[in-house]
Structure 1
Amino acid sequence: MLHEILLSLSGHPSPLLRNDYSDPEASSLISPPERQLLDTAAHLSDLHCKLREQTSRISSTHPSAICRAVSTAIVAVHLASFQRKIIEVEDTILRRDAGLVGAYNIVPLTAVIGQFSGWTRRLEWLWGLIEFMTADEGRQDRLPCQAAKLIDRLRNELQTGYADVSETSRSLLQVAETSWLKQVSAWVVYGRKPTVGGYDFFIREDEEEEPGYRIDYDLLPSFVTPSAAASMLFIGVSINRARSRASTDLGASGLSHLSSQHQELARLSSPFNSVIFSRAITSIRYTLSRTTLQKLLPLARVLEILKVLREFFLVGRGEFAIALTQQADEKVRSRWRRADNLAYEKRSALGTVVVKEGEVSAVLARTWAFLVSMQSQHADDDEALELARDLLRLHVSKSVKAVTPAKGSDHAMNKILDAIAPTPFRNLLFSVPVTLTMPIQYPLDLFLAHSDLQIYTAINSYLLSVRRAHLRLTDLWKITSLRRHHPPPPRAPYGNTKSGISKTRLLRERASLRSSIMRGTWSTSSAAIFFLGETEAYLQVEVVEGLWSHFHGWMTGTRESTRGEPSRPSTSQGALPRINTVDDNARLDSDESPASSQDTQPNHDPQSLSTAHRQYLGALTRRLLLTQPAFTTPLYGLLIQIDHLVALVYRLHSVWVAADLEADEGVVDAFSNLDAEERDVRAQLRGVERRVKFGIEDVISALRTLSLDSSFVAEIEGEEGTLEDEMDGDGVEKYRPHRVGGIDRLLMKLDFGGWFGPPAVDRPGRDDERFS
């Protein structure tokens, strides 16, 4: 009987243990206590058989390499230990050891079964783990067990409170984490995905993503932080690309980092600690940066690209905004003139005035030609301009999909893209969606992503729209005949006659009447210019320049000792003040702080720069209020009304010019009724003036609401961290966005003198006038 029990425990089915003893004759042979002991042995035998069967199937067919490794470890370690225990008990009986064999060679069944008392809970726990690994097999709607879930379960089982279960879980966790670390090693050391069992590896290939790879956060074990996962993605992608270009970029020196990476990973011990693992990955990233990436993407190259983004996408170079706006307006006017020159029967709605892709590219080409001509006049060798000419492109977005920013696998960037208001500022330049873009080529893609460029494009459309409205309003003052007109009397002797005097009186009465008609337009335009000027100064000087100076100082290791009120540089030709460039900032910092010139530049790796850059972009979008539809929507409506106001002023001027030719020179246009057209334009002009004023009031009201919004203020106030206490692995300061701007300061400037007064919300007919 004992031999049968031991064979059954070894995994061989036995009728002795599987008999239910329901027959009265059979039950009389075995007492109830013995039947209970045999049930315990049968339970252990059944668990042993099922474990061997299921582990064999998992080890041969499961798609996860980690699950196969754990299943193999269960057989090779724990079931083998159980088998050795059976042999040990059998050897003890055969040797007639007094621990089991009593007097007269009697072996108590209780003592034999008691030898396996510690294995019941362990085998039951192992069977529960096997059921967990096979729970989703055969289901179409769910994938089989994945490594991350298995590792998390094993880590949780360490805290059960049972020593034997904790020891078993620890041994299996070591196998699982070691197998998982081998997959990670293939990625962070050689830049290759695991060729075997990569079913549940957290790095996924995706051709639609920016680097060609993405992170599946559902496949990450709980001890891996998002920052460590992002570092591993960056390391693998960088090595992958560096190896593909090793013959031209790296040579043999590109492989010098392998030994140090192996050492960092070899020092990790299971169970992995989240902090220690993150430090090891960070150390590998720094080593890779110092040995390989520093040659591919030096800091000077990053600063060069950021300078282009600052000056052209963030409208830091005012002459670019002026030239692009003027060339775009000229292209649109030429299309309208071409439509007017067509015969009436040949006109086809607005099809003749729609701007096409080639014309948009031609506008940018003429803009570059204008800037180059200015550069040649000043004999200034501008490398940023030459680089921008090679990189920047102006495109027409022909579909909603092209207009909507594409999202990647970076959760932080997706959050920023989701927060940007969908207000279509890109429609204002050409009346069609137009975006300023730039191709991202290797090795810049190690630092700059397409999602970053989409944020720059959105900010560029926003800032350029405000700048364009400001320029168009100030251009109205160039129409001298509207702004001031003092008709001189006719020459003598005709000027001394009655007809000459009457004509002089007629011309001056006409000028006086038109001046009175335009008085409201000039006052409204002046108020709008004041509003746009102060708003633009806040956005450009306070926010963009403040954040850029601090970010540039962090990258180059030059920090401002004190931050005073930024001065507004003088402008030429009505251009927006050209904000300090990289070289200007470095010179100013060195002048303000002599000690700063002696500091060495921090050795930022590309991922640290990329992470800091995205934090900078996130702070920039929030500080520019681009994430607040309550502000951008009324601002967009105001810009549209300003365009309407400018168009009506030009139209009224053309009507008056035609009327003067008809009255003074006898040039008559038989197809036009100038008096009726003038009345119509003047009526529309009065309505647009009111809507512009109401639009400004709405924008100011939105600013007041934001200034009182506690959630918005808390979000802005929480951007800046403690720089002195937050260091990375090499003791370099982590970037935290600088606290700049402040809506209250802008509101104080806009409210100065009460030039508009409180918004008249309940004014009769206000909504009808605003949106008519």
Structure 2
Amino acid sequence: MLHEILLSLSGHPSPILRIDDVSSAYARAGISPAERDLLSSIAHLSDLHIKLLSYVSQVCASHPSMVSRAVATTIELVHLAEFQRKVLEVESTILREDAELVGAYSIVSLTAVVAEFTPWTRRMEWLWEVVQYMLKGGAGGEACTAPQLIGRLRKELQSGYVDIEETARSLVRSAEMAWLKQASAWILYGRLPTLEAEGFFIRTTDGENESKEYILEPSLLPSFVLPSTAASMLFIGKSLNHPRVRATLESGARGRDHVSAQLRELSRLTFPLESPSFSKAINSIRLSLSRNTLQDLLPLERVVEILQLFRDYFLLAKGEFAMTLTQEADEKSRNRWRRADNLAYEQRDGLSNVAVKQGEVTRVLARTWVAMGSMQGLHSEEDEGIELARDLLRLHLTKSKPATPLVLGSAMSRPSANTLATTPFRNLLFSVPVVLTLSEIPSPLDMFLSNSDLQIYTVINSYLLSIRRAHIRLTDLWKMTSLRRHYPAPPGPPLGSTRAGREQVVLLRNRHAYRSSVMRSAWVTCSAAAFFFAETEAYMQSEVVAGLWDDFNSWLAKGDTAASTASTPKTSARGARLASSKPDTPGSGADDEDIWLDESPTSEQPGAHQPAEPHATPAPRDPESLSTAHRTYLRSLSRHLLLTQTPFTEALYSLLVSVDHLVATVHRLHSTWSSMDLETDAGVLDAFSDLEADEKDIIPALRGLEESVRCSIGEVIESLRELELNSSFAAELEGDGDLDDDGAAFGGDGYVPRRIGGINRLLMKLDFGGWIGQREDAFADS
């Protein structure tokens, strides 16, 4: 029987220990009840061993995760092999007739044999739970992912049992070592796994122009990887896959010399991996890559140049661009409708005559550049920013939602990104979705900017341009002279003194009095809307956009100063040139000035104590720090512009649409009255229109639109008041809401946006005109 017991423990089923087998009843007939109780524990252990051998082989052969396969291999080659050695050790002890197991007359105590294997029961049961979790521990009963398995094993380190803790520690080491090998291929060579691409924390997406973009999946990261560390790993791999960086590495110039040092940095890590040590190693690799490879590819002046382009044209620092673009777009829309009206009825083809096409949108932008060039007048110096904008900026017809969704790891958290992606303001410029974007992100600036960052700029541009456009269209109403005052003026003497002249004077005065009474409430409503847009635009541009840009630009200037100071000991002539330049001006250094220059060796030693210097400057920043700071800037800008607040954006969009309808109705009424004047004064008749009927239809519609605009203004102000009382939104503006729904944090490597005016400042200005949306009697017809 001992032979059967040892064989069954080695993984061979035995009829003596199988309870469900009919033939085992005869084999167990001569066994006493006490012996059966002892054999039941041996049978349980044997069954666990057999199942582990079978399922571990299945995991090693077919599991989609390399980490799970590594853990299964460790279970098979280490722990099950150790159990097999234990079986052989017991067998050897019995054969040697050792007194530990063999008593007098060569009698082997079954109790002693069972006691040798009792400590293995809890260990084998735990291993069986781990194998089951690898096969069915994921979502929907599927195979678990690498982060799920690593998290489960790290949690088991706190089980309280020494044997379980030691076993879990060995499995954690195997799992994290396998994961680190995958991550090392990405952070050292920029390679993605080919056999396990779906389970890796870096994914690729096909962006516009068939460009490949790498995105981060926080759900596929182990718990010891901090969000800032994950962002650094994403940046390192993206940089290594950049064409110019790859060409530099393959050419041998500043190539793979630093890889050995990085491998030594990773080899010094201990398992289980701890967040501080792992973050330190990744940060060291990032800085090494920046100093050895990236220092000549992306000077700070290029970064400042592209950011100034975004500030001028996407954030509307150049007001003439927004004004000219709005006027050209409106003129294009009016011309299309005018041509459609002039066609004979049988030649019209429905709405295809007024549908906007990409070529027309492109021509609108081209005419905008021509108009802006003519505005320069006799200036001798040509604006280089306009030339750069003319080369890079494009107006594109797009879908109602962006083709490439905003992703995590960009400037926004998931709820905020979804809110930005669905904002409808791009529909207002041409009545179809049109966005201002770049033709392409020029190299090597694509190491600093991503397509998601560009999409956020396009959303903000559509938002700000819609408000500016509504304000311009409202103020343009006052340019229609005949609606504001007597035009043409009544005839004066001597014609006005005649009988016919007096009749003409009375006719014109009565006409003006009637039309003034009709337009009085419309002018009040337009004035209220213009006041609202003027104050809202002043708040957003002067306090939010300008305030955050000045803060971020000064942060960039400090980095430029740090780079200049760090380069001083290397070249005395260059240091003299930099000393004579203005340190507060971004990009004011020499043309070959870089932002990643050699740092002091002592500054990299974590334990070195540096004496305080009166003129010490911060270390030069690497591209990943600049990119992260830029994402923080975009996140803060979107929040302070209230783009992430759906109730406000919906109410504002409804107001903008109502204002468009109101302006169009006023223009239609003006056109109708002008035609009636021609018919009355000059006898010019239009046989295809009934002007009196049109007037009767337009005036009630105008009253309804006035009411709609007033109600929409009230809804927008009410949503602002609700936001002012919203504690969670106030916490976001204060920087307390820097975590997204996956726990990813945002921060800018030393850059923290300064506090700027809140909603209460905007409400204080709007409350100055408290009659807006409050006193309906102020809008009543006199």
TM-score normalised to structure 2 length: 0.81
Report the Cα offset of residue 742 of structure 1.
Answer: 2.0
Cα distance, 1:328 vs structure 2 = 0.9
Task: State the AA in 1 paired with 2:732.
Answer: E
Query: Does 1:734 pair with 2:750?
Result: yes
TM-superposition CA deviations, 1:383-418 (whole Å, max 9, x none): 322221112111223x5455x772435484533222
Counterpart residue identity of residue 443, structure 1:
P
Match of 1:744 in 2: 760
1:609 deviation in Å?
3.1
Aligned to 1:433: 433
Which residue of the partner structure matches residue 564 of structure 1?
none
Residues of 1 paired with 2:463 and 2:22: CA distance? 85
2:622 to 601, 605, 623: 605
Partner of 1:363: 364
Q: How much has 1:90 moved relative to structure 2?
A: 4.2
1:551 aligns to what SS in structure 2? helix
Once residues 66 and 195 of structure 2 are traced to their aligned partners in structure 1, the CA distance between those partners, rounded to angstroms, is 7
Cα deviation digits, residues 229-258 of structure 1 (max 9, x gap): 333233222212357741599752142331
Matches within 5 A, 1:521-532: 521-532=522-533
Tell whether 2:478 aligns with 1:462.
no
What is the deviation of 1:495?
6.9
* Contact in 2 for aligned 1:421/1:626 (Cα 8 Å): no
Alignment partner, residue 264 of structure 2: 263
1:5/1:373 CA distance change after superposition, 3 Å: same
Aligned residue in 1 for 2:633: 616
Whether the 8 Å CA contact 1:191–1:237 is kept in 2: the answer is: yes
Q: Matched residues in 2 for 1:477 and 1:128: separation?
A: 78
**Post-superposition shift, 1:750?**
1.9
Question: Is 1:290–2:291 an aligned residue pair?
Answer: yes
Larger displacement relative to structure 2 (257-266 or 215-224): 215-224
Separation in structure 1 between the aligned mates of residue 691 and residue 24 of structure 2, nearest angstrom? 118
Distance in 1 between the 2:196 and 2:716 partners?
58
Letter aligned with residue 176 of structure 2: E
- Cα pair 1:644 1:688 within 8 Å, conserved: yes
**Residue 321 of structure 1: CA displacement?**
0.3
What are the superposed Cα offsets for residues 45-74 of structure 1, whole Å, 9 maximum, x if unpaired? 444444334434443444433333223322
Partner of 1:570: none
Residue of structure 2 equivalent to 1:576: none
What letter is aligned with 1:639?
L
1:65 is aligned to 2:82: no
1:278-427 residue pairs with structure 2 within 5 A?
A: 278-375=279-376, 377-397=378-398, 399-401=399-401, 406-408=405-407, 410=409, 412-420=412-420, 422=422, 424-427=424-427
> Hey, what's the Cα distance between the residues in 1 that align with 2:9 and 2:374?
93
CA spacing shift, 1:23–1:9, aligned 2, 3 Å: closer
Aligned to 1:188: 187
Q: Tell me the secondary structure at the aligned position of residue 436 of structure 1.
A: strand
- Residues 447 and 146 of structure 1: CA distance in aligned 2, closer, same or farther (over 3 Å): same
Q: Distance in 2 between matches of 1:133 and 1:666?
A: 90
SS in 2 for 1:188: helix
Secondary structure at the counterpart of residue 256 of structure 1: helix
Write the letter of the residue equivalent to 2:260: S
Instruction: Tell me if the contact between 2:245 and 2:293 (Cα under 8 Å) persists in the aligned partners.
Output: no
2:595 maps to what in 1? none
* Alpha-carbon displacement from aligned partner over 1:327-378 (angstroms, at most 9, x marks no partner): 1111112122212322344344443223222111100010011112223532
The CA RMSD over aligned residues, in Å, is 4.2
- Mind listing any 5+ residue stretches in structure 2 that lack a counterpart? 561-580, 589-613, 739-744
Partners of 2:42 and 2:498 in 1: CA distance: 135
Structure 1 residues 623-632 or 502-511, which shifts more? 502-511
In structure 1, the residue matched to 2:171 is 172
- C-alpha separation in 2, matches of 1:697 and 1:481: 31
Specify whether residues 295 and 2 from structure 1 end up closer, same or farther in structure 2 by C-alpha distance, changes over 3 A only: same
Residue 163 (structure 1) aligned with residue 180 (structure 2)? no
Please tell me whether the aligned partners of residues 15 and 27 of structure 2 are also in contact (alpha carbons under 8 angstroms): no
Equivalent-residue separation in structure 2 for 1:166 and 1:134 (angstroms)? 22
- In the alignment, the residues of structure 1 paired with residue 136 and residue 689 of structure 2 have an alpha-carbon distance, to the nearest angstrom, of 83
8 Å CA contact retained: 1:70, 1:172: yes
Local SS of the residue matching 1:282: helix
1:185 deviates by: 0.9
**Residue pair 1:289, 1:605 contacting (<8 A) in 2 also:** yes
Residues 616/10 of structure 1: CA separation in 2 closer, same or farther (3 Å cut) = same
Change (3 A) 1:677 1:226: same
Contact 1:21 1:27 in 2 (8 A): no
**CA apart distance, 1:471:** 1.2
Residue aligning to 1:709 = 726
Match for 1:335: what amino acid? R
Superposed, which structure 2 residues align to 1:192-203 within 5 Å?
A: 192-195=191-194, 200-203=199-202
Question: 1:5 & 1:500 partners in 2: Cα distance?
Answer: 129
Question: How far 1:166 sits from its partner (Å)?
Answer: 1.3
- Secondary structure of residue in 2 paired with 1:204: strand
Identity of aligned residues (%): 57
Please tell me whether the aligned partners of residues 15 and 24 of structure 2 are also in contact (alpha carbons under 8 angstroms).
no
Deviation at 1:324, TM superposition (A): 0.2
State the AA in 1 paired with 2:181.
Answer: K
Deviation at 1:534, TM superposition (A): 1.0
Distance 1:357 1:123 in 2: 68
1:144 corresponds to 2:135: no
1:45-124 correspondence to structure 2 within 5 Å:
45-103=46-104, 106-124=107-125
Contact map agreement 1:211 1:237 (CA 8 A) in 2: no
Task: Return closer, same or farther for 1:493/1:407 CA change in 2, 3 Å cut-off.
Answer: closer
Conservation of the 8 A alpha-carbon contact between 1:211 and 1:445: no
Matches of 1:55 and 1:489, distance apart in 2: 101
Quote the residue 2:596 is aligned against: none
Which stretches in structure 1 are left out of the alignment for 5+ residues?
560-582, 591-596, 722-727
Q: How many residues align?
A: 725
User: Matched residues in 1 for 2:702 and 2:114: separation?
Assistant: 101
* Structure 1 counterpart of 2:571: none
Taking structure 1 as the reference length, what is the TM-score of the superposition? Answer: 0.82
Please show how residues 213-224 of structure 1 align to structure 2 within 5 Å: 213-224=214-225
Q: Check 1:661–1:105 CA distance in 2 against 1; reply closer, same or farther (3 A cut).
A: closer
How far 1:437 sits from its partner (Å)?
A: 1.8
**AA of the residue aligned to 2:172:** L
Q: Which amino acid aligns with 2:280?
A: R
Letter of the aligned partner of 1:375 in structure 2? Q
CA distance in 2, matches of 1:206, 1:686: 51
Letter of the 2:733 counterpart: I
